[in-house]
Structure formats: structure tokens, C-alpha cells
């Protein structure tokens, strides 16, 4: 009787622990997908005004990873054995000392940055006007020569038009080097339609914080839309992070360009995007490919850096298409649309 009683007590304790005690893990699984050519609610995911927009069809779905927090022991075990979800230490998703709300705000900020980059990458691909501007650190080396909002068109005579080009041009130089920046003067008196004259501003570089062997200008570069009549707004719902960049860029190009990118097909994908059109890798790729296939996608655009992981678990009926750049993605979409061979992961 004593042994039975002890056993029952242990079982009760086990049930209580398993059902109520939280474990320091989160579950990751397939999340919602959103057609960037469609709408969330009644609002288009990509809304363009101030320029002609062509009608679109098919799907260019962005994909997400679902995160389930506050798991009990039993829930964690169930998800582990489901084969659909994976467990990850909670601190890798919610950094120690950072609240869930702070993490959510950070994700939203990253999405905002992704939307800005998507806009610029699309405009540059479509050869629409953009400008490289700077925000100046008032204590930085450039403070005496530049002001926030200035445009920069060259470094030591070499043209620059993206944030990466400006950073690369400066970081190749050593602290103490003098650089000459080409800065158009919008206040100059010139006939209408004539470009503003370019002034040459000289700056002696400082040492980059954290990497003192490289030159430091003390500005934050940003490429902006230079057409005041054109406005591009995004509505992705309650989705955060930077990984929707590629698919948002493609949606802008499909709407604002002259070519039907999908041919009516259901294509999904993921990847960050830079001003210059570089596609970056992301996390949770196998969860995203599963979500895409379950939503109906037959092809998935995979950042090159994610291909090895994506190949480890390919949903039946889904082609994994490797992309390094925005131009790659446009080319692969043409191949999918025309029934030709694609570059597979």
C-alpha cells in the first residue's frame, strides 16, 4: 500500500510538473504566408500611387515562422515528437534582459527597414530616380563639411549611388586619409531642369569605432526615392523581421514594371534585400518551405546561403530555386513562367 501511495504521489507530481511548469524553450513551426500581390484585409499589401500600376495575377508569397512561447513540459515534448515543429532555447529568440514587447518592436523596426530597402531595390531595378543621402554625426569627421540631408554622388571622383558603395569606398581608406565627396548644391541658381552643380567637399577620415584600421566618415547613408509624386506603402499585417524584403521587392516590380513576373503561377520565397539588390539568408527556412507548400506554392525562391539547409527537408511538390541577387530572382521567375529549367538549390 505504501509503495502504491508513493507511486500515485509521484504520478500526480509528474502530471502537475508536465502540465504547468514552463520550460526555457520556444517552438518554431510553419507560419502564415501572405501574397504580396494581394491584400491583408481590405488593404493591398503593396499600394502604389503617383505612377501607372499594371494589374497582376498569381502569387508571390512572403513566408514566416510561427513562434510559440511559454511552453509546458508536455507541450514541448509533444511538439518535439510532432515532426512539424522544432524547439529552440528561448534566449535565442527573446534575448535575456529584453522583454517580449521590446523584441516585438525590434521585429517591427526590422520590417520597416526591409520595406524601405525593398522600395529602393525595386526602384533601382526599374531605373527610376533615387538619391543617396546622409545623416551626419555632429561629432564625426564629416560634421564640418556635410549636413544631414546632403546628397553624395561621388567619392574621390568615383560615382556612388548606394549605401554599400559609399561604405566600401570609405572603408578601403586608412584613418587620416583625405577624401573628396561630390555633393550637389540644391540651393544653387540654375535653370529649371538643369542638374544642381556638384561641390567638392574634403573630409579627413577618422578611425572607425571597433575597427580602427579603417577610415570613418561619421555619416549614416540612406538611399531614398527621388520622385516626390511616387509613393509606395506596405501592409503586411502583424509580421516583423527583415526576411520579407525580396518578396516585397518583387511585388513592387510586378506592379510598377511592364512584365508579368508570375504568369499566374503560385510562387513563394524569402530573403533579405539590400539597396543594391543583394539577397541575404534568413532563419527557419524549412518551416517556411513547408508553410509555402501547404499554402499551394509549387516553387520557392531560396537565398543561396540557405540552400543546404533547405535541401535537408524538401516538401513534396515544391521546387527550391536558388537566388543570390534580385536580378537572379527576376531571371528565375521568367524561367518558371516559361516552363524552362531553373537554378535549383
What's the CA gap between 230 and 195, in Å, rounded?
20
What is the per-residue pLDDT for 192? Answer: 61
203: left (phi over 0), alpha (psi -120 to 50) or beta: beta
Average pLDDT, the chain: 86
pLDDT digits (tens, 9 = 90+) for 84-126: 777 677 777 667 776 767 767 776 777 888 899 999 999 999 9
| Whole-prediction pTM | 0.86
Q: Which residue has the higher pLDDT, 67 or 73?
A: 67
Indicate if the pLDDT at residue 18 is higher than 50. no
Burial 232-270 (b: 16+ CB within 10 A, else e): bebebeebbbbbbbbbbbbbbbbbbbeeebbeebbbbbb
- 282: pLDDT confidence band, cut at 50, 70 and 90? very high
What is the per-residue pLDDT for 66? Answer: 82
Angle between helices 326-337 and 245-256 (to 10 degrees): 60
What is the per-residue pLDDT for 189? Answer: 57
Cell numbers placing 219: 555619416
What is the per-residue pLDDT for 54? Answer: 92
What is the per-residue pLDDT for 208? Answer: 86
Beta-bridge partners for 132: 223
By the 10 Å C-beta count (0-12 exposed, 13-18 middle, 19+ buried), 319 is classed as middle
What is the per-residue pLDDT for 7? Answer: 47
Q: What is the CB neighbour count within 10 angstroms for residue 296?
A: 13
What is the per-residue pLDDT for 188? Answer: 59
What's the CA gap between 271 and 259, in Å, rounded?
22
What is the per-residue pLDDT for 11? Answer: 45
- 74: pLDDT confidence band, cut at 50, 70 and 90? low
What is the per-residue pLDDT for 6? Answer: 44
By the 10 Å C-beta count (0-12 exposed, 13-18 middle, 19+ buried), 176 is classed as exposed
- 137: pLDDT confidence band, cut at 50, 70 and 90? very high
Amino acid at each position: 500500500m505504501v509503495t502504491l501511495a508513493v507511486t500515485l504521489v509521484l504520478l500526480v507530481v509528474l502530471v502537475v510538473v508536465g502540465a504547468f511548469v514552463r520550460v526555457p524553450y520556444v517552438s518554431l513551426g510553419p507560419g502564415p504566408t501572405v501574397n504580396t500581390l494581394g491584400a491583408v484585409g481590405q488593404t493591398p499589401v503593396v499600394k502604389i500611387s503617383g505612377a501607372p500600376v499594371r494589374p497582376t495575377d498569381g502569387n508571390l508569397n512572403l513566408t514566416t515562422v510561427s513562434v510559440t512561447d511559454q511552453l509546458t513540459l508536455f507541450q514541448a515534448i509533444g511538439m518535439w515528437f510532432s515532426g512539424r515543429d522544432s524547439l529552440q532555447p528561448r534566449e535565442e529568440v527573446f534575448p535575456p534582459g529584453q522583454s517580449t514587447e521590446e523584441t516585438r518592436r525590434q521585429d517591427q523596426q526590422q520590417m520597416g527597414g526591409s520595406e524601405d530597402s525593398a522600395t529602393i531595390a525595386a526602384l533601382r531595378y526599374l531605373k527610376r530616380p533615387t538619391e543617396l543621402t546622409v545623416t551626419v554625426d555632429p561629432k564625426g569627421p564629416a560634421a564640418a563639411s556635410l549636413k544631414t540631408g546632403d546628397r553624395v554622388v561621388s567619392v574621390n571622383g568615383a560615382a556612388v549611388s548606394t549605401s554599400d558603395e559609399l561604405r566600401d569606398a570609405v572603408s578601403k581608406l586608412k584613418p587620416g586619409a583625405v577624401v573628396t565627396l561630390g555633393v550637389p548644391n540644391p540651393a544653387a541658381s540654375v535653370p529649371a531642369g538643369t542638374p544642381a552643380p556638384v561641390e567638392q567637399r574634403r573630409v579627413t577620415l577618422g578611425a572607425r569605432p571597433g575597427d580602427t584600421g579603417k577610415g570613418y566618415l561619421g555619416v549614416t547613408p540612406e538611399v531614398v526615392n527621388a520622385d516626390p509624386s511616387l509613393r509606395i506603402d506596405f501592409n503586411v499585417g502583424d509580421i516583423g523581421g527583415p526576411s520579407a524584403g525580396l518578396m516585397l521587392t518583387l511585388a513592387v516590380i510586378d506592379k510598377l514594371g511592364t512584365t508579368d513576373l508570375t504568369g499566374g503561377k503560385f510562387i513563394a520565397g524569402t530573403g533579405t534585400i539590400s539597396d543594391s539588390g543583394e539577397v541575404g539568408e534568413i532563419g527557419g527556412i524549412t518551416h517556411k518551405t513547408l508553410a509555402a507548400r501547404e499554402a499551394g506554392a509549387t516553387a520557392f525562391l531560396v537565398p543561396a546561403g540557405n540552400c543546404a539547409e533547405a535541401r535537408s527537408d524538401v516538401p513534396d511538390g515544391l521546387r527550391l530555386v536558388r537566388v543570390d541577387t534580385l536580378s537572379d530572382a527576376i531571371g528565375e521567375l521568367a524561367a518558371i513562367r516559361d516552363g524552362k529549367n531553373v537554378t535549383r538549390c
